Structure formats: C-alpha cells, structure tokens
Amino acid sequence: MDELLVEFINDLNHIKGIIDLKDTVEEISSIKIENDFDTEKYCKFVELQKISLESKLGSRMIPGIIIPYLGGRFENFVKNIFEDLSLTIASNVDEYKSLPRDMRENLISYTAEVISRPRKYGHGEGGVESFIKTLSMNVNENDLSSINTSCLSITYENMRPEVLKSLFERIGMKEVWKGISEQFELKSFLGQTESHEVKKLAEKHLREFMDKRNMIAHPSNDLTWPDSKEIIFYINFLESLSKSLVIACKTYSINYIKKEEYSPS
C-alpha cells in the first residue's frame, strides 16, 4: 500500500507543478516591458508574454481541465488500495472459509458479473477462463495465492463517499469512513478534532469534488471554472484523505488477521 500511496502523491505533486507553471506564466504577462527592453535578446520572454495575454481565457480553464484527470487518478488509487487490501487478507488466512463472509460472497457474485459480460469490463475469452480457474482454486482447493481482485473492484459510478463505502463493504470493512475520519492526518487538515465532524466534512468535500468533475466533463454555458487556489485545496485534500485511507485499511487488515489467528478452528 505504501508504494501505491507514494506513486499517487508523486502524481499529485506533478499536478501542483502544472498549476504553479500556469500561475507563473500569468504573472509574467503582467510584467510591464520598458521601451528600451532588448526584445531581440529576450524574444522568447516577449513571445511567452504575448501568448499568455492572448490566451488569458484559456489559461483560466487549465485548473478545471485538470479535475477530470485528478478524479480518475483518485478512483484508480482507491481501487488499487482496495485490491491490495483484498490480497493482503487472502494471503494471511489458510482457507477460503476464513475470508470475511462478505468477501467470499462478493468474489463469487462479481466474478460471475464479469464473466457474463467480459467485453464490458475489458476482458476477452482468456480472461474469463482465468477468472473461472482462479475462483475454482479458491473455493475448491483453498488456494488463495491469487484472487479475482479486478472483478471484486468493479464500480459503476464516480468515487463518491457512498461508492467508496460500498466498495470496501464488499470485503467486510463496514466502517471505512469511520476508520478514515479517526486519523490525525485528516483531522489536522480539516481543522477538526471530533471524528464525526471530520467524516461529515470529508464526505462533503469529496462529493463536491465529484460534482465539479461531472460539470466539467459535461460543461454548460453557465459553468464557473475553478481557480488555482480551489484545485490546490482539492489536491491537498485528496492527499490527506488517501493517507488516512491507507492507515484505516492497514488497521482493518491487522485486526482481521489477528481475529482469525485467535478464533477456534
């Protein structure tokens, strides 16, 4: 999970760099060029300023254009963490029946969904055969070295709070938002000490972010483009949320594995 988190944060930092570049170019456009300015020597600077001035409206769209990518990258990260957590649980139990009940049931139902409509989920006949073989090994041979995580993690909507919640419920993690909101990382970012307030605020920000993502993906004439400050807030929020999610997932896996170790056979 740590490696996935580092990769995600690196991508967020790259996006911040794009926003910083955009803001710097806009600042350059406001610099007054004196009459005795050596335009030949600094022709690229002059050209950059000219382009920036001519593209002022387009420049304002840059932060908003980034939002769909940011939303997609966050969703991909959440699914990757979910799949990693699923594999961690599977690799630490001895038999199929030791998996969380919800996880056992959903491995079967979501594998069935994917193999019934493989092309919808980007798979060919080879993928279908592999999924069937893997599930059979899980159920009949208690071989959990591989599980159908890509089937288990399919979603149909944007990663809104309720979608994130329902995703982790598939493997028995019933209170993912409770786990997230208890983390100091998110409490500190949101300036709240009470977990229930953190949960409420975090869900609100994530829901608003996904709303903006949809509005930009399907723009109307009255769309108000977000500015750099707003995008930076969402980047920092998603970073804090993601760090807290990872801690919550690690805690869940440790607690579940411990419970299985001490439960009677």
Q: Does some domain include residue 135?
A: no
Inside any domain, residue 148: no
Task: Quote the CA–CA distance of 265 and 262 in Å, as a whole number.
Answer: 9
pLDDT confidence of residue 18? 83
Q: Round to whole Å and give the CA distance between 85 and 169.
A: 12
CA distance linking residue 223 with residue 212, whole number of Å: 10
**25 within some domain:** yes
Is residue 125 domain-resident?
Answer: no
Element (H, E) at 151: helix 149-152
Q: Is 68 part of any domain? A: yes
Share of the chain above pLDDT 70, in %: 84
In tens, the pLDDT along 201-252 reads: 999 999 999 999 988 888 777 778 888 899 999 999 999 999 999 999 999 9
User: Which comes out higher in pLDDT, residue 148 or 265?
Assistant: 148
The token pair that represents 236 in the structure block = 């920092």
pLDDT band at 151 (very low <50, low <70, confident <90, very high): very high
Helix/strand/coil (H/E/C) assignment for every residue in 109-168: HHHHHHHHCHHHHCCCHHHHHHHHHHHHHHHHHCCCCCCCHHHHCCCCCCCCHHHHHHHH
171 is a domain residue: yes
Range of the domain at 199: 2-92+159-262
C-alpha to C-alpha distance for 212 and 207, rounded to whole angstroms: 9
Band (125; pLDDT cuts 50, 70, 90):
confident
The amino acid at residue 253 is: S
Mean pLDDT throughout 11-21?
87
| pTM, entire model | 0.85
CA distances from 149 to 11, 81, 86, 88, 135 (A): 24, 11, 7, 11, 11
Is 149 part of a structural domain of the chain?
no
pLDDT at 259: 75
DSSP letters of 176-191?
A: HHHHHHT-HHHHHHHT
User: For 221, phi and psi rounded to 5 degrees?
Assistant: -65, -25
Q: Check whether 147 has a pLDDT greater than 70.
A: yes
Greatest mean pLDDT among 15-19, 46-50, 186-190, 214-218: 186-190
Rg (CA), the chain: 23
Longest dimension (CA), the chain: 87
Whether 94 shows a pLDDT value over 80: the answer reads yes
Total number of domains in the chain? 1
Closest of 52, 56, 7, 20 to residue 232, by C-alpha? 20
Whether the CB-CB separation of 72 and 155 falls below 8 Å is answered with no
Gap between the Cα atoms of 51 and 43, Å rounded: 12
Q: Is residue 128 part of a domain?
A: no
Residue 197 has pLDDT above 90, yes or no: yes
Q: Residue 207, Cβ neighbours under 10 Å: how many?
A: 14
Is residue 183 predicted with pLDDT exceeding 70?
yes
Q: How confident is the model at residue 123 (pLDDT cuts 50, 70, 90)?
A: confident
Question: What is the token pair recorded at 176?
Answer: 């993912």
What is the structure's pLDDT at 11? 93
